[in-house]
Structure 1
Amino acid sequence: MPRSVWKGPFVDRYLLKKAEESQEGKHKGGIKSWSRRSTILPQFVGLTFNVYNGQKFIPVHVTEDMVGHKFGEFSPTRSYYGHGADKKAKRK
C-alpha cells in the first residue's frame, strides 16, 4: 500500500543533508546509506549512493528513471544461484 499523497515521499533527513553537501562538492565519493526505505528524489539524480543490503554496500548511481522508487529496489538482498536440480543435470 503506497504512502498517502498529502504526506509526501519519505526520505531520511541525513540523506538530504549529505546530498546537498555532495552537490556543493564537500562530500566526495559515494554516499553511504542504510536507509533502503527512502524514496529517490530529483535532487539525487547524478549522485552515487552506497546502499547497504544487510551484508555489503551496493553502489547505486541515480538516474532520472529511478525518481520515485525506493533505494532498496536497486540493492537486492538475496542472491539466486539457480536450482539444485539444474546443477545435477549439467554434471551428467
Structure 2
Amino acid sequence: MTRSIWKGPFVDTCLFKQKKIRWRIWSRRSCILPQFVGCYAQIYNGKGFVGLKITEEMVGHKFGEFASTRKTSSLGKRALPSKTKIKPIKKVR
C-alpha cells in the first residue's frame, strides 16, 4: 500500500541536517528527494554499508531499494575437495 498523497514523501529529519556531500544513512525507509541528486550515500544493510551515488532516476524511490539485505545463494554447487594431502599413519612395531 502506498503512502497518502496529502502526507507527502517520508524523509528522516537527520538527512536534512547533514550538509555533507557524502554521508551514512541508517534510515532505509526514507524517500530520495531531488536535492540529494549527485551526492554519495552509504546505506546500512544490516551488516555493513553499501556505497551509492544518487542519480535522477532514483528520485521517488526509497534508499532501502538500492541496498540488498540478503546474500545471494547458489544451490547445487559442490564443495571443492581440500588441496592438502593426507599422509598415511606409520605403523609402530
Shorter-chain TM-score: which interval?
A: 0.7 to 0.9
Q: How much identity, in percent, do the aligned residues show? A: 53
- Residue of structure 2 in register with 1:67 after alignment: 59
Listed as ranges, the gaps of 5+ residues in structure 1 are 23-27
- Residue of structure 1 in register with 2:86 after alignment: none
Residue aligned with 2:35, SS:
helix
- Residue of structure 1 in register with 2:27 after alignment: 35
* Alpha-carbon distance in 1 for matches of 2:33, 2:47: 25
Pair member with larger Rg = 2
Aligned-residue CA RMSD (Å): 1.6
User: 4+ residue runs of structure 1 moved beyond 3 angstroms?
Assistant: none
TM-score normalised to structure 2 length? 0.80
* Alpha-carbon distance in 1 for matches of 2:4, 2:52: 26
Between the two proteins, the alignment pairs up a number of residues equal to 80
* Alpha-carbon distance in 1 for matches of 2:35, 2:64: 18
Residue aligned with 2:28, SS:
coil
Q: What residue identity is the alignment partner of 1:81?
A: S
Q: Which has the higher helix share?
A: 1
Give how far 1:82 is off: 1.2
TM-score normalised to structure 1 length? 0.80
- Residue of structure 1 in register with 2:17 after alignment: 17
Residue aligned with 2:60, SS:
coil
Counterpart check, 1:2 vs 2:10? no
Listed as ranges, the gaps of 5+ residues in structure 2 are 81-93
